[in-house]
Amino acid sequence: MSFFIPKGHFLTLLGLSFAFFSCKSNGEKDMADTGDRVDTYRQDELSVQEGMQLFNTHCASCHDFNSNNIGPSLAGVTGKVDKAWLIDFIKNPKNKIVAGDVRAVRLYETYGTYMPAFEHFSQDDLEGLLGFLHKYSEAEKKSKRKRSGAITDPIPEKITQSNLLLVLEEVLQVPASADHHPKARINKFVALPTPEGERQFIADLNGTLYEAKESTVTSYPDMAVELPNFINVPGFGTGLGSFDFHPNFDENGLLYTTHTEPAHTRKADFPLPDSLKVGLQWILTEWKVEDPLSSRFKGSKRELLRVDMMGTSHGFQEVSFNSMAKKEDTDYGYLYLGVGDGGAIYADQPQLVGQKDRDMGNGNPNRPFGK
């Protein structure tokens, strides 16, 4: 099985991070020589929300505001780095690196790859993105300052290195489902017990559910074929989010999946308020397989739930039955759906999350139909 890190996502914000401290020849701000110039950032709700959408699409899979992960943390970037330098770097980071910019070169050496140029970003795009980064960073700083006595690092002890070694052995490789990086977006693996033995299934966010047999994989349902409105763009969490089989699948043939479709494809069961922009829709679908024991998929489907989401991240990322439940247990045959905030927190809309009358930010147990 092969895994790929989306190169475009990785360096979308790496470029912003490169800008952490710079304004001299390397973009670092010199607080003793700022003159009368003060960087300003758009803070109106619409601009920040549009910037959040760009962040979720191009940046958030590799960057956050708390720690260095695949790319550097962006905490405080707009306070430490000159705005003009940030914009220049986002438009063409390689030029900065080739030209010998100290900060750009240093971070390139740390992360070992180039950020793609974003010359197609309009000035409004850049202003919105930087406005979002500025607002979020400032909010984080204020939050920490006001929490007197807060524990910033609850476990200060470092993890002790063990002498254990992990040996990886290639078993199979899922075929590429795109002609660009990432070539595939493997998201979930499920082992399905049957009377004839265990069957293994692998989901690719790009849209295909595979059955694995020894060193080969074959397509089970292809969402792009079965669902005419299916989308897997702009990436991140979009596409075939998750899947699971009913514990009595070999008898009732029930399979459950989650996937994304464009905004306003159909009326949502949980719509967003009219004042908020819908980014896309997440859908929970029940499939009725005609022959549960066949490796060739053939069956019907029905939609169970459709929810509007603001952004492209944190949607219906998991759907599952309790694999440990026995027939006599209370939750045997209950389907659990994990629903994220749909980008609502980044958009400063916390009232949409974790409420009894809304699905966002909840884990919802549902008794599956056909039980």
- Tell me the per-residue pLDDT of 49-68, one tens digit each, with 9 for 90 and over: 888 878 877 777 677 777 77
Quick one: which H or E segment has residue 251? Answer: helix 249-252
**pLDDT tens digits, one per residue of 162-204:** 889 999 999 899 999 988 778 899 999 999 988 888 999 999 9
Token couple for 343: 């980008």
Same fold, 7-145 and 186-366: no
Token couple for 39: 């960087």
For the residues of 138-180, what is the DSSP string, one character each? HHHHHHHHHSTT--S-S--SPPPP-S----------PPP--SS
pLDDT surpasses 50 at 20: no
Contact 104/93 with Cβ under 8 angstroms? yes
Q: Which of 206, 157, 203, 209 is nearest to 181 (CA)?
A: 206
Instruction: Select the more confidently predicted residue: 339 or 57.
Output: 339
Residue with tokens 């695949």: 70
Q: What does the alpha-carbon distance between residue 263 and residue 279 come to, in Å, rounded to a whole number?
A: 6
Task: Sketch the domain layout of the chain as residue ranges.
Answer: 7-145, 186-366
Contact 260/280 with Cβ under 8 angstroms? yes
**pLDDT tens digits, one per residue of 252-262:** 999 999 999 99
Q: Running DSSP on this structure, what letter comes out for residue 115? A: P
Give the architecture (CATH level 2) of 7-145.
Orthogonal Bundle (1.10)
Residue with tokens 């884990």: 363
Token couple for 114: 């180039």
Quick one: which H or E segment has residue 86? Answer: helix 83-91
Bridging pattern class, strands 280-289 and 299-309? antiparallel
pLDDT surpasses 50 at 367: no
pLDDT surpasses 60 at 21: no
Q: What does the alpha-carbon distance between residue 300 and residue 180 come to, in Å, rounded to a whole number?
A: 32
**pLDDT tens digits, one per residue of 203-230:** 999 999 999 998 899 999 899 899 999 9
Instruction: Select the more confidently predicted residue: 149 or 225.
Output: 225
Which three-class secondary structure state does DSSP give residue 47?
Answer: helix
Bridging pattern class, strands 216-222 and 240-245? unpaired
CATH code that applies to domain 186-366: 2.120.10.30
Instruction: Select the more confidently predicted residue: 121 or 153.
Output: 121
**pLDDT tens digits, one per residue of 238-248:** 999 999 999 99
